[in-house]
Amino acid sequence: MTTAHEDILLKRITVDPGILGGKPIIRGYRLAVEHVLGMLAAGDSTGDLLHEYPWLEPDDVSACLVYARRLVGHERVEPAVTSTRA
């Protein structure tokens, strides 16, 4: 997926302080990106999501994944420090 295509997908993700406390949502609907990612992480398929939310489009799900990848790509994760002493 090209960066230009990702940028187009990300236009589907919006933030409205009056909806869900300003969490990133899909196209102004009351469905948080976080919720879509949680459903995918729990094992739901894109098809399951499209069935559950008839207005949802496959590109909306792709947009959530791109959003998460870009967010995590900027995150620094420090490994846990463990002692190897006996």
**Per-residue pLDDT, 83:** 60
The pLDDT > 90 percentage for the chain reads: 76
Domain 3-73 class in CATH: mainly alpha
What does the domain layout of the chain look like in residue ranges? Answer: 3-73
DSSP 8-state secondary structure symbol assigned to residue 78:
P
pLDDT tens readout for residues 45-78: 999 999 999 999 999 999 999 999 998 888 666 6
The residues pairing with 24 across neighbouring beta strands, listed in sequence order, are: 15
pLDDT above 60 (res 36): yes
Of 5, 20, 21, 17, the C-alpha closest to 70 is 5
